[in-house]
Structures are given as structure tokens and as C-alpha cells.
Structure 1
Amino acid sequence: MPRFSGVAGLLLPALAAISWGTNAVAGRYLVGGGHIDGVTLTLVRFALATPLIGVSAFYIARDKMFNPDRSLMGWSAVLGLLGITGFNIFFYSALGHMDASITALVTALATPLTYMAAVVLGLEKATLLATAGALVSVAGTYLVLSPSPGSNVSLLGFLLAFGAALSWVVYTIILRVKLAGYDQNVVMFWTSLFGTIFTIPAYAALAPGGGLRLGPVEAALILYVAAVPGALGYTLWNLGVEKVGASKSAVFIPLVPLTAAILGWLLLGETLTIRQLVGAALIIAGIIAVVWRR
């Protein structure tokens, strides 16, 4: 198993967060461009990513991979429903209605929302800095979602992105409370497998007809979101959490909307108004305040 420490260890979650930012831009191009719908993209992505995650888990924790107990299997199924099926269908569907930068900013609210949920459930003690950061992030969201010329904002897109954030909040709380003692690479494999299985009936019920509009670029992007922000991104994140801890890894979460905003501007022509840029800065500052408390 590879060993990482110091700066090298911090690069793992940083690269994972950047890869997730590219996922928002690729998803915006694919779903927003009408090439594929969010449900189908979720199914195809994790049908391709799950075997890759399995290979990684086998390499890192082969002695634990095929000896799961009932608790691991049961809670991994719940995580798959929330973190794979629910989160990704909500997230990709939101990208059909809003810019990648705005969608990524809304879903990044999962970090301060998780903190508030943990405080309410008695899992953490409230601190002034973290609480202020959570409130600042919420205030920033109001500015980001304010109707402005040139920006692509919709109520349905916001609700879908917020649904993704809430799915991730519950996912994170369950992971922390019920599966903290397990090897996270093994948890990720079973979560991804169950999530892929649960996406099949969602695809049958929700995916629109009419087929796909995929050329070489679109097919390459689907392979990319499966392999890089999918299998590689999750693996890098799990290794980073293992090597440098969850709190230090969480500091890099703001790189997700930041990467999405930069690439959305460069590749998709997306723009943020001055008011929305202020809101984005408040969201990122609030996230940093929440994770900095430790």
C-alpha cells in the first residue's frame, strides 16, 4: 500500500476535490447540452466506476473486502441509496437547469449543513467560528441564487442541487456514526455497488425515452467522469482521510466550486455577476470556517 505524509498526504484530498469540480463541468455539458439525462448518467457512471473502485479496494484492503458483516452490508446499502443514487441523480439533474458553478456552490453547502446536523444530534459541540461560518455560507447562497442578467439560475435547479446536498449530509452522518470503524475503501466499494443496483429501478422509472445523443466527445466525457472524479477521486479522498484525517481533508472542499467556476468560465462560457462572486466568496469562507474549527 502506498505511503503518504506531509505535503504529499495533503495533495490527495486536494486532487480529489479538484476532480469533483471537473465533474460538475462535464455533467453540465452532458446533461445541460441534452446529450444524456441525469439518471442515465448516474447509472452509466457508476456501472463503470464500481469495478474500478473494487480493484482499488482489493489492492488496499483485500483481506477485508470479501468478509463483510451484516452491519457493513446493511448500512452500505443505505449509503448507496443516499450517496450514489440520490446524490448523483439530484446533482446531475440540477446541472440540466443551472450552471456548473452555481450547482457546485449549492451542493457545497453540505459541509456547513453537516456541521449543523451534527450539533443538533449531539455529535459535536457548537463553536462560535463554525456557527458563524455556517450562517455566512447560507447568506452567500442567497446572493449566488439572486436572479442576475447572464446567470443561469432556476428554482427547480436549486431544489435539485439542495436535494443533493441534503442527501450528502445524511450520508456523511451515517458514515460517521455507523461505519467509522470499517476500512473506508471497502465501505466505498459496497456503497458504490449498492448504489449502482438501486439506480437501475430509478433509471427504469425516471429516464426519458428518445435515446442518447453521444458523439466521441460525449462518450469520452462519460468515461472520464466514471474513471477520474468517480473511481480515482473517491479513492484519493479515502486515502487522504486515512493519512491526514477528515478535518484536514475537508479544508479542500471549497476547491470543488472554485474549480467548477473557473472551468465553467473557460470551457462553457459561464459567468458570475459581482453579486454572485461575493456570494461565492462568502460560501467558501463559511466552509473554511466550519472545517477550521478543529
Structure 2
Amino acid sequence: MNKNRLVTVTLTALAPMSWGSTYYVTTQFLPADRPLFTGMMRALPAGLALLALTRRLPRGEWWWKAVVLGALNIGAFFPLLFLSAYRLPGGMAAVIGSVGPLWVAGLAALFLGEKPTLRTLLTGIAAALGVSLVVLKAAGAFDTIGVVAALGSSASMSAGTVFTKRWGRPEGTGPLVMTGWQLTAGGLLIAPIAFFVEGAPPALDGRNIAGYVYLALVNTAVAYWLWFRGIGRMTATSVTFLGPLSPLTAAVIGWAALGQALAPVQLLGMAIAFGATLAGQAAPKPLRAATAPGTREPAAPEAPEIPAAPKKPSGLAKSL
């Protein structure tokens, strides 16, 4: 792995690592039983702040593309994720969500021309196994709605990753602008659902406000900017293999800050999932100079980015 690619992978990895802190912040700083309001507060203020900073709105076809990407990456992903976290027993939702690399491998083959290899499939299975060992608790009652929601959240984020790569960006538009568009669109989609399901916003104290500021700025605005930046420079499959870092980070924070014990089987799972993450970053065979279908960016992962030319959430909430 050359130096430029190493820097890109490292910076992109900071996004899922930041998302791994969501469980701690949610349970220690935020009002209980308001998952949809929290999802809206993560997305909408951050998106509006980025719009004010960049002062650029979509044009032409990018109005509907921004809405589609915002719905896939934020607007549908957050509610489905929380729904599955509340309806499934501890950790099961995170396990189902960990099949994301396999979703992306299939979608990338269809829309990006990134043919999955046997190594990719085996690495995806290993990542899911590792996450399972880390977060899966004793099995509970099977809940069809919860399982469908977990699969839907994983498929939504995976599709968002692939189509973000496929459509690229408008000429002269950087990842910060794209992040603002998607967060705003996603937040606006969540807002009416949050008010309909949960009612009026709760009263907030200083601790709550500090938690929401962290989620909106660090956990969402910066993290999603790094994520979308990474999608522009890496293959979609390589990016999604960084996802297991989120539940792994949550487990480490739970151990360090909340005194949650890590059993030997969990340590083994962390080693397997981390190894799969590293294996997923192995540079694929060099691709020809042609771009991936429908993109404006080279498909090679090391291609440089073109500049301006609540109820306590269960296991899956740890991987938000």
C-alpha cells in the first residue's frame, strides 16, 4: 500500500470509528427514548451548517440525485437502523448489518463493474463472523420486522455508497458540498417521521446540547465528509470493509469508559473483524484507465481526488 493510499484509508477509517462513539454519547448525554429526534439532530443541523459554509446548492439533475443519496445514506438508513436496534435482541441487528460488504460487493458488480473475487466474499464473511463474536448476546425471540429493518438499513447504506461512487460529483464540487446536500436532504426526510412518531422535541439541558453538538459536528458532518471523500478515492468495496471498525470502536469505548468486560471470545472476534478490515484494503489488481460505469472518477482506489475541477439502544446502535 503506497503512502497516498495509506493516508486515504486512515482518514476514511476515522468515520466508522467516530460512529462507534454514538452508543456512548447517546446513553450518557442524550434524552432517552428519542432515537428519531436524535437522528434528525445528527443530520439536519450539520447539513444546514455545511450549506451555509459552502454556499452552493444542487443544480439540474443533482437536485433529485442529492435527495436519493440523502435518503439512502441518511434518511432511510437512520430510522431503519433504530427500528432494528429496538426490536432485535442484543447485538443481532449489528450482526445483520455487518453483511454490508457483501451487499456492496454485489451492487458494485452490477453498477460499477467491480467484479467480486473469492477473497472479497471470504473476507466479507469473516468480517460478519468477527462482529458476531464481539456483539452478539444470548438469542431472543425472532422478530420479522426487526430483521427486515436491519437488512433494509444495511442495504440502504450499501446502495448509497455504491451510487455515491457511480454518480461521482458535479464538476467543481468537492466532498464537503456533497456532504451538506445529503445530510440536509436526509434530515428533512427524517424530521416529519420523528415528529409524527415521537411528538414535540424534548426539553434539553446543557449536557444534552453538548451531546447533540458532538453528534452533529464530529460524528456526522466531519465523519460523513471523510466517508464520502473516501468513496471518491477508493473502490466502493474497500470503503465498506472499514465498516466493522464501528462496532469494534464501540466495544473498546464500552470497556474503557463504561467498565464493560470483554470476554476472550469477544477479543477473538475483534481480531477476526480487524483482520478482515485490513484484508479488505489490499489493493486490487490494477485497472485500466477507463472509469467505472457512470462515474466521473477513476475506478482505481489510489486515484487522487479531483479538486474543485433513548431507551438504551441495543447492540446495533453501537455501530451508528
Q: TM-score, normalised by structure 1?
A: 0.75
Deviates more, 1:103-112 or 1:122-131: 103-112
Instruction: Trace 1:181-192 onto structure 2 (pairs within 5 A).
Output: 183=173, 184-192=175-183
Query: Which of residues 263, 275, 284 is equivalent to 2:265?
Result: 275
Residues 19-59 of structure 1: per-residue CA shift (max 9 Å, x gap): 2222243235467xx62411111122222211222245x1x
Does residue 170 of the first structure (1) align with residue 159 of the second (2)? yes
CA distance in 2, matches of 1:89, 1:235: 21
**1:42 partnered with 2:32:** no
Greater shift, 76-85 or 44-53, is seen at: 44-53
CA-based RMSD: 3.7
The answer to whether structure 1 residue 229 and structure 2 residue 219 are counterparts is: yes
Equivalent in the alignment of 1:110: 100
| Aligned residue type for 1:199 | I
Q: TM-score, normalised by structure 2?
A: 0.70
* CA–CA distance in structure 2, aligned partners of residues 240 and 126 of structure 1: 19
CA 281–214 in structure 1, closer or farther in 2 if over 3 Å, else same:
farther
Deviates more, 1:37-46 or 1:161-170: 161-170
Query: Using the alignment, how far apart are the partners of 1:154 and 1:93 within structure 2?
Result: 14
> 1:129 — aligned with what?
119
Matched, 1:51 2:39: no
CA shift in 2, pair 1:121/1:240, >3 Å: closer
Rounded Cα–Cα distance in structure 2 between residues aligned with 1:105 and 1:29: 24
Q: How far apart are residue 225 of structure 1 and its match? A: 0.3
- Residue 169 (structure 1) shift: 1.0
Change (3 A) 1:235 1:119: closer
The answer as to whether partners of 2:127 and 2:273 remain within 8 angstroms in 1 is yes
Q: Which amino acid aligns with 2:15?
A: A
CA 1:143 to 1:255, structure 2 compared with 1: closer, same or farther past 3 Å? closer
Distance 1:241 1:217 in 2: 34
Which residue does 1:18 correspond to in 2? 17
Q: Distance in 2 between matches of 1:106 and 1:30?
A: 27
Structure 1 unaligned segments of length 5 or more: list them.
Answer: none
Distance 2:114 2:127 in 1: 19
Instruction: Provide the secondary structure at the position in 2 that maps to 1:70.
Output: coil
Assess if the C-alpha contact under 8 Å between 1:100 and 1:264 holds in 2.
no
Match of 1:202 in 2: 193
Matches of 2:178 and 2:11, distance apart in 1: 18
Q: What secondary structure does 1:26 align onto?
A: helix
Q: Could you tell me how far 1:211 is from its partner in structure 2?
A: 6.0
Contact 1:110–1:166 (8 Å) recurs in 2: yes
Farther off after superposition, 36-45 or 84-93: 84-93
**1:181-206 C-alpha deviation (Å, 9 max, x unpaired):** 65333322221221122112212332
Q: Deviations over 1:113-146 (max 9, x none)?
A: 2113323557321212111112223444554565
Alpha-carbon distance between aligned partners in 2 of 1:214 and 1:152, rounded to the nearest angstrom: 34
2:249 to 234, 259, 278: 259
Identical amino acids, percent of aligned pairs: 23
Cα deviation per residue 1:124-171 (whole Å; 9 max; x = unaligned)?
2121211111222344455456544xx999857665444322210121
Residues 192-247 of structure 1: per-residue CA shift (max 9 Å, x gap): 2211221122123322x4863644322211111011111122223344555x5457
Q: Please list every run of 5 or more consecutive structure 2 residues that lacks an aligned counterpart in the other structure.
A: 285-320
Counterpart CA distance in 2 for 1:210 and 1:241 is 36
Code of the residue aligned with 1:221 in structure 2: it is: G
Distance 1:103 1:265 in 2: 20
Number of residue pairs matched?
Answer: 278
Q: 1 or 2, which has the higher helix percentage?
A: 1
